[in-house]
A and B are shown apart, each in its own frame.
Chain A
Amino acid sequence: MDPAATGVTVAGTGADPAKTTMFPEEFLKRTFSLINSDKDRNSVSLVCKDWYNVERMSRRHVSIRNCYSVSPEIVTARFPAIRSVTLKGKPRFSDFNLVPDDWGADVQPWLNVFATAYPFLEELRLKRMAVSDESLEFLALNFDDFKALSMLSCEGFSTLGLEAIATHCKNLTELDIQENGIDDLGGDWLSYFPENLTSLEVLNFSTLTSEVSFDALESLVSRCKSLRVLKVNRKINLEQLGKLLVLAPQLIELGTGTFLEELVSGSVNGLENAFSKCGNLVTLSSFWDATLLHLPVVYPVCGNLTFLNLSYANIGPDELEQILSRSKRLVRLWVVDTVGDKGLEAVGSHCPLLEELRVFPVDPFDQQLGVTDSGLVAVSKGCPKLHYILYFCQRMTNAAVITVAQNCPNFTHFRLCIMNPSEPDYLTNEPMDEAFGAIVKTCTKLQRLSVSGLLTDLAFEYIGRYAKNLETLSVAFAGDSDLGMEYVMRGCPKLKRVEIRDCPFGDSALLSGLTQYESMRSLWMSDCNVTMDGCKKLAEEMSWLNVEVIKDEGGDDRLANKVYVYRTVAGPRKDAPPFVVTL
C-alpha cells in the first residue's frame, strides 16, 4: 500500500528514521479546523504540500486585504470551502478624497464568481469597496444561506439596496452599515424585514441619516431574541430608545440615538430603569447631542463598560468626568476634542485599565484649541497600559511625546495628527523629529505609526533604525529629501502598508524600496516628486507589482502625481478606468 495514499508511515517499525512522519489527513483536517487565525493558516500552508492541501480544503474564512492583489478565480480555485469573506478595496487615502470617483474596487465581479463557487457563502465584510444596489440585490438573491453583511466606508449604494437585503436574506444575523457613502433615500428599508425573521443578532445603522419606522424597529427588536448588538441612528430619541431597551435587555453593545429631546421626569426614571436591567452591556456609543441633562440615564451601566465611543458627542470635560468617574473598567475610549485637556486629565484619573484612546477633532477646520500636549501627557501618566492612540491636536511638543513614550512603552499603534501641516514644536520651534524618535526607540512593539508636524530626514532615520516591527506607516508634509524615505524603506523589514502624501520624496526614494515591495501589501505616494520615468523603472524591475499612476487633469505629464504600487498575482487590472495607468 502506498504510504502517501493513506498518509501514514508507522514509525518505530524499523522504517528509516530520516523519513518524515506523516499525519493522517483526517487528523490534519481536525487540527486545522481549530486554527482560525489567517496568519497561522498561512504559515501552516507553507509547511509542505500535504499540509497546503488539507489547509486550503478546510479554510472557512479568507481575508483579501487588497482586492486587486488576487482575482476571485484564483481565490475560489485555491479555497473551495469558504463561508466567510473579508474584502478590502480602495487605498486608505480614498477616505480623505484623494482617490477619484470610479477608481474601482467593485464588488460585483467577486459576487459573480462567488455565486457559483461559494453558493453557501454566509458572511461578507467589505471595506472601501464600491457597492451598488444591484450588487446588494444580487447578494440577497443568490446566496440562500447568507447571514452577515458588514460594510464600512463603502459607497455607491442606497437604502434601496438595504431593502433588498432585508427582504430576501431569510437567515440574516448581522447587518452592519457604518460610515458609508450611502444615498439615504429614506423609504423605510427597515420595514422590509419579514415578520418571521427572528435571527438578527447584530443591527447597526447608526450612520444612516433618515428616519426609520420605529414600529418596524420595535417589532424587529422584540422578536429577535438573540439580538446582542443594536446601534440606532440619530433619528431615534431617548424615549424610543427606552422602549427598545425594555425589549432587549440582553444587549451587549448599544448605540444610542439622540439625547436632544426633553423627557418628562417619569420617562427619565423609566429609562434609567431600562438601562439598569441591561447587565450585559459592555459597549456604548453614539450619544448624539448628549448633555448633562440626560447623560445620567446611562450611569447604571457605566461600571461594566469596556468600550465607550463618545466620538459623535460633542461633550465637554464636565460631562466626560461624570461618565468616566463611573466607568473604571474602560479599556477603549473614543472622544471628541471638545473634552479638552481637562477632560483628558479625567481620563488619566479614572481609567487605569485604558488601552486605547482616540481623540477626534470636532471641527477639523476650526482654529479652536481642542486638546494639546498636556492632555496627552496626562493620559499617559494615568494609563500605563495604553498601547493604541489616535490623537488630533493643534499643537504638540517634543518633550511631551518623549514623556508619553516613557510612560507608555507598549505602544503598538501611535497615530499623532498635528492638524496644521508641518507644524513645529510650538515651544521650541524645532522639528518634531525627537518626538517620533523617542516613540520608535522606546516602543519596540510599534506596528503602526502616523507622523505629522515639521519633520526632517532625521525623523525617518530614527524610524528606519529603530522601528523594526513597523507594519503601517502614514506620512504627510514631512521630510527634506529622498533620504528620508530611503531610511525607512531600507530599515524597516516588516513594512506592509506605506502611505505618503505631500513629501519631497522622488524616484530615488521610490526605487529604494525595491526589495521591500514584494513583501508589502501596498505603497501610496501622492503629491511627491515621483516621475513617470521612475515609475516605469520600478515596473520594469518588478514584474509582479502593479505600478499604477492616477492621472490628474492637466498637470505635467512627466510627473506621477498619485502612485499606487501593490503586489499582485492577478496581473494588471482589467477594469482600470482611463485615468489609472498601469506601467
Chain B
Amino acid sequence: MVRSSIVTLYITSQSFPYTHSHYQLLSITIIPTKMSSEASTITSEPPTTAVVSIGSLSTNDTELTLGLPGGNSRKSGAKRTFSVTTDLKLGGTDRSSLECSVVRRSPSSKEQVVGWPPVRSYRKNMAKSGCKYVKVAVDGAPYLRKVDLELYSGYQQLLSSFEDMFSCFAINNVMEEMKLMDPVNGTEYVPTYEDKDGDLMLVGDVPWKMFVESCKRIRLMKNSEAGSSGMYKSQLT
C-alpha cells in the first residue's frame, strides 16, 4: 500500500567562510522527521523531510538558482530560510537519504565550519538534549541493558533497537499494539515501563516526548504474565 507522506521542504542558505570566493552547495536530502505524537501513527510510515541546501543567496534574491553564483561582488551571502510544504508520494519504508546533485566549488568547503561559532563543547552538547538512560529488563534474561531514550525519535526506533539488542526478537506489530516476539519459541513480550509515579504502564500509550520524560525503566514482559496482570483488560475497557 503506497502511503503518501507529508514532506516539509526546508530551504536554507549557508554562506561559506572563505572571503575570496563563495560557493554554492546544493543538495536534496530526504530524511525521516520525528514521529508524530499520535500513537495511531506508530504503525504508519514515518513522515520524511527533504532538506534542500543552497549556498550564497544574496539578500535580494528570492529565487532559487541552481547555477553557480555570479555578479555578486560581496564576499559572502546572507542567510535566508524558506519553508515549503509539499506532498510527496513515497512508497514503502523510505527512510534512506537521497542526495541529488551537489555543486561545490571549494576544495575544502565545509557545511559547518570547525570551531565556529566559538562556543565550548559543553554548551554545544547542551543544545542537544541531555541523555536519558533507562534500564531495560527482559523477563528471563540474566542481565539488563541500558538505552539512551534521547537517541530515538519515536517508538518504532526504540523497538528496533530492542530488536538489535536482544537479537532474538522480532517486532510484531499487531493491531496497533507493539509486541516483540521470540521466533524460536513463539513467546511474545510486551514492552512495559515504570513511570515517575512508580506505576507499570504499557509502552506506546502516551506521546513519545511524554514517554521519554516520564519513563524510569523498561521491562519487556512475557505476554503470559502481561495477560494475568490485567494489562490487556484495561485495553478493552
Stretch in contact with the other chain, from A27-35, A195-203, A357-365? A357-365
Contact partners of B59 in chain A: CB under 8 A: 426, 429
| Closest-CB distance, A364 to chain B (whole angstroms) | 5
Contact partners of B121 in chain A: CB under 8 A: 95, 97, 181
Determine the residue in chain B with the shortest Cβ distance to A419.
B117
The verdict on A97 contacting B122 (CB below 8 Å), with A209-B130, A422-B76 known, is no
Bound state CA distance, A341 and B15, in angstroms?
A: 25
Bound state CA distance, A96 and B124, in angstroms?
A: 10
- Contact with A261, one of B74, B76, B196 (Cβ below 8 angstroms): B196
Contact partners of A504 in chain B: CB under 8 A: 19-20
B171-205 interface with A by 8 A CB criterion: 196
**Number of residues from B at the complex interface, CB < 8 A:** 33
A501-526 interface with B by 8 A CB criterion: 501-502, 504
Q: In the complex the two chains form, is A420's CB within 8 Å of B15's CB?
A: yes
Q: In the complex the two chains form, is A95's CB within 8 Å of B120's CB?
A: yes
Contact partners of A98 in chain B: CB under 8 A: 114-115
Contact partners of B20 in chain A: CB under 8 A: 504
Contact partners of A419 in chain B: CB under 8 A: 116-117
Q: Is A265 an interface residue (CB 8 A)?
A: no
Q: In the complex the two chains form, is A97's CB within 8 Å of B19's CB?
A: no
Size bracket, chain A contacts: 35 or more
Q: How many A-B residue pairs have CB under 8 A?
A: 92
- Contact with A423, one of B78, B122, B123, B196 (Cβ below 8 angstroms): B78
Q: Is A375 an interface residue (CB 8 A)?
A: no
Q: In the complex the two chains form, is B117's CB within 8 Å of A207's CB?
A: no
| Closest-CB distance, B43 to chain A (whole angstroms) | 31
Interface residues of B, dominant DSSP: loop
Q: Is B1 an interface residue (CB 8 A)?
A: no
Q: Is B224 an interface residue (CB 8 A)?
A: no
The verdict on A360 contacting B78 (CB below 8 Å), with A234-B130, A367-B12, A392-B117 known, is no
- Contact with B117, one of A93, A179, A261, A361 (Cβ below 8 angstroms): A361
Determine the residue in chain A with the shortest Cβ distance to B14.
A420
Bound state CA distance, A402 and B95, in angstroms?
A: 50
Bound state CA distance, A363 and B130, in angstroms?
A: 14
Q: In the complex the two chains form, is B118's CB within 8 Å of A367's CB?
A: no
| Closest-CB distance, B132 to chain A (whole angstroms) | 11
B106-162 interface with A by 8 A CB criterion: 112-124, 126-127, 130-131
Q: In the complex the two chains form, is B113's CB within 8 Å of A364's CB?
A: no
Q: In the complex the two chains form, is A365's CB within 8 Å of B112's CB?
A: yes
Contact partners of A422 in chain B: CB under 8 A: 15, 17, 19, 75-76
Q: In the complex the two chains form, is B122's CB within 8 Å of A207's CB?
A: yes
Bound state CA distance, A501 and B115, in angstroms?
A: 10
Q: In the complex the two chains form, is A96's CB within 8 Å of B74's CB?
A: no
Q: In the complex the two chains form, is A363's CB within 8 Å of B118's CB?
A: no
Contact pattern, B 66-100, Cβ under 8 Å of A = 1, otherwise 0: 00000000111011010000000000000000000
Q: In the complex the two chains form, is B79's CB within 8 Å of A95's CB?
A: no
Q: Is A104 an interface residue (CB 8 A)?
A: no
Bound state CA distance, A209 and B115, in angstroms?
A: 23
Q: In the complex the two chains form, is B120's CB within 8 Å of A421's CB?
A: no
Bound state CA distance, A429 and B81, in angstroms?
A: 18
Q: In the complex the two chains form, is A96's CB within 8 Å of B79's CB?
A: no
Q: In the complex the two chains form, is B115's CB within 8 Å of A96's CB?
A: yes
Determine the residue in chain B with the shortest Cβ distance to A181.
B121
Bound state CA distance, A260 and B74, in angstroms?
A: 47
Q: Is A398 an interface residue (CB 8 A)?
A: no
Having A95-B120, A261-B196, A419-B116, one finds 9 other A-B pairs with CB under 8 Å, namely A96-B115, A96-B118, A207-B122, A234-B130, A312-B126, A420-B15, A421-B113, A422-B17, A429-B59
Give me the 5 closest cross-chain CB pairs, A-B, nearest first. A96-B115, A421-B17, A363-B127, A179-B122, A419-B117
Write 24 A-B pairs (CB below 8 A) sorted by A numbering.
Answer: A93-B115, A95-B118, A95-B120, A179-B122, A179-B123, A207-B122, A311-B123, A312-B126, A363-B127, A364-B119, A364-B124, A367-B12, A392-B119, A394-B79, A417-B117, A421-B15, A421-B17, A422-B75, A422-B76, A423-B76, A423-B79, A429-B74, A454-B75, A502-B18
Residues of A with Cβ closer than 8 Å to B? Answer: 93, 95-98, 153, 179, 181, 207, 209, 234, 260-261, 311-312, 360-367, 392, 394, 417, 419-424, 426, 429, 454, 474, 476-477, 480, 501-502, 504
